[in-house]
A and B are shown apart, each in its own frame.
Chain A
Amino acid sequence: MEKWNESDLLREVINLARKVRERMGRKIKLMEVCGTHTMVISKSGIRALFADSIELLSGPGCPVCVTDQRDIDRVIFFARKKGLTISTFGDMIKVPGSFSSLEKERAKGANVEVFYSPLDSLKYAEKHPEREVVFIGVGFETTAPIVSHSILLAKEWGIKNFSVLSLHKTLPPAMRVLLDDPELSLDGLILPGHVCTITGRKAFDFVARDFNLPSCISGFEPEDVIEAIGMVLLQILKGAPEVQIGYRRLVKEEGNVKAQKMIEEVFEPCSVSWRGFGEIPESGLSIREEYADYDASRKFELPAIEMVERKNGCICGEIIKGKKKPPECKLFEKVCNPSEPYGPCMVSQEGACSAYYHFGV
């Protein structure tokens, strides 16, 4: 098999990028929305390969990174409750809230369990009927149906000590806010392949329709990303923006309809706060009344949590919006690193700061 970094595709797309740059008289500004793409692009060296013609910015597609600081504080409040087990994806453990992190709480004796799947959390609850198990639901449209399914299974299996604190978010509303920002002025988008596996292409139609912006839904192999860049560049040249599917082997026009229905069954849209953005209407997923027994925010009383501003100079909020790059942060590498992160973009493996830290670009 041909190696991707010696392929005709790469060579041609690099040439095309140079041509488009020449024609535009400036660097082309593209954004990869998804955190998993951020990782692939940094790790493979794609960001560096195109550096002379394309500025590849990282967007708000890392769920841990966009989780509001107050939500982290709420999670920590739960962790301090007696008889309660916090179960979560591993990325959440080190994220600093206003005054602590799950990792610090665990060191002080809180019961915090890391799981690969919410289903493992459900099975843990089944084995420990004496404990209340709260799963921290973070993630976009890719993860939401999985958490829905786990709630449906909890009901089916009659497990009563399992609930979810839903911090789930949906990407299109945040993308709209981002694209409305005149400061950003992007030339194109690399759209998230696994979110679109669930939502279908149609959920992102607005990118071309309302913002006249070229875009392509990409897979996660380096050659997928290069192909997507090529497709976006051709759209720029032709002056004909559309939402193209580059990840044809998985993404369909309508998406995974069964998974969409499962999200709708358990969740309803709600207004939610994003780090860096603030409140975005209809961009969160809260658990419907019918499933209140599995909603940790209804099951347990939560105090109102005030925003405590952390004045440590962290610019994660700007990085999430593609306005700044990690090396522009004065904390980056000097004091902020993966073992002692100041902000979520350094914590999550998919955060832009973590990617730049590990791979230099």
Chain B
Amino acid sequence: MCLGIPAFVLEVREDEKSALVDSNGAIFTVQIGILDEKVKEGDCVIIHAGFAIGKIEREEAEERRRLIEEIMAYGKME
């Protein structure tokens, strides 16, 4: 039920209440009224039941790498 799908913003409507988005080729309108930050064309948002609930920040691949290194360091300690 808490399923969320990522989609890219194609265009924010004039009233700034909804936006046209593209999710893997499916193009549709979603509500952006519960987002607490502004979105613009090209931003990636997570859609739940027709509403954008949050904006995706660029993943810091660096942090994932650091976790792997930390786990490997634990392995060597044994």
Residues of A participating in the B interface, judged by any CB pair closer than 8 Å:
8-9, 12-13, 15-16, 19, 34-36, 61-64, 89, 91, 116-120, 138-140, 142-143, 145-146, 149, 192-195, 197-198, 220, 223, 227, 230-231, 233-234, 237, 248-251, 256-259, 262, 348, 350
Contacts and interface: CB of A to CB of B under 8 A. Distances in A.
4 cross-chain pairs, A with B, having the tightest CB-CB distances, nearest first: A117-B50, A258-B36, A194-B2, A142-B2
B50 A234 contact: no
Contact of B78 (A9, A19, A118, A256): A19
B49 A248 contact: no
B36 A12 contact: no
A192 B3 CA distance: 11
Given A194-B53, A248-B57, A262 B34 contact: yes
Interface string B55-78: 111111001100110111011001
A142 B75 contact: no
B46 interface: yes
A192 B67 contact: no
Given A9-B68, A36-B2, A250-B57, A234 B74 contact: yes
A256 B35 contact: yes
Contacts of A227: 64, 67
A250 B50 contact: no
Nearest to A223: B64
- What class of interface size applies to chain B in its complex with A? 20 to 34
Indicate the member of A12, A15, A118 with the most B CB atoms within 10 Å.
A12
Given A193-B2, A256-B54, 18 more contacts: A35-B1, A116-B49, A117-B49, A145-B53, A149-B33, A194-B46, A194-B48, A197-B4, A223-B64, A227-B64, A231-B67, A234-B71, A237-B74, A250-B46, A250-B54, A250-B55, A256-B34, A262-B34
Nearest to A220: B4
A27 B36 CA distance: 42
Interface in B38-57: 46, 48-51, 53-57
A16 B71 contact: yes
Nearest to A139: B1
Indicate the member of A62, A117, A249 with the most B CB atoms within 10 Å.
A249
9 contacts: A9-B68, A12-B71, A16-B74, A35-B2, A194-B46, A194-B53, A220-B3, A223-B64, A256-B34
Contacts of A256: 34-36, 53-54
A123 to B, nearest CB: 10
A250 B74 CA distance: 28
B1 A91 contact: yes
B1 A348 contact: yes
B60 A259 contact: no
Indicate the member of A119, A120, A237 with the most B CB atoms within 10 Å.
A119
A249 B59 contact: yes
Contacts of A64: 1
A248 B60 contact: yes
A139 B67 contact: no
Contact of B57 (A89, A116, A220, A249): A249
Contacts of B78: 19
B36 A198 contact: no
Contact of B75 (A12, A34, A119, A193): A12
Contacts of B50: 116-120, 146
Given A237-B74, A249-B59, A62 B49 contact: no
B54 A258 contact: no
Contacts of B54: 197, 250-251, 256
A33 B48 CA distance: 18
A139 B68 contact: no
